[in-house]
Structure 1
């Protein structure tokens, strides 16, 4: 099965991340969310502005872990494994598995 990137409003997991992150960051226009589905499950790729990375990850990664937990709940409702990848503005990636 090939990986596919689906349209903007194609899943509750993507819509949730977009809504939540847009509410907590200073620059919501810099928020970008992509949703890819393959044989391993769903991959949500999140990009935010450099100044907002701390808000998205949180102290000791607590916000990112909470997002992962909520994505797991959404995914289990739809029988899907959901992973969250946060891409830093410099290109580094932070993988949060659900």
Structure 2
């Protein structure tokens, strides 16, 4: 999942070397924290959050049946 998030976000940003994806797991969910360069945050979120919503949709759809619920936090 980490590689999927990185492959989606890399073409969107000007500083791909600053992309960091961390994973934290809880009882019922898995949270992926996406951190990008401060200059690229707007590009990843998009106008009215449309790009962020699209990224989340793809990540949620990639979940397999046996996995816990997945969340993507963009910072």
TM-score relative to the length of structure 1: 0.69
Partner of 2:34: 46
Q: Structure 1 regions of 5+ residues with no counterpart? A: 1-12, 88-98
Matches within 5 A, 1:1-98: 13-87=1-75
CA RMSD of aligned residues (A): 1.4
- Counterpart CA distance in 2 for 1:86 and 1:69 is 13
Q: Report the 3-state secondary structure (helix = DSSP H, G, I; strand = E; otherwise coil) of the residue aligned with 2:60.
A: helix
The alignment's TM-score, normalised by the length of structure 2, stands at: 0.88
Corresponding pairs, count:
75
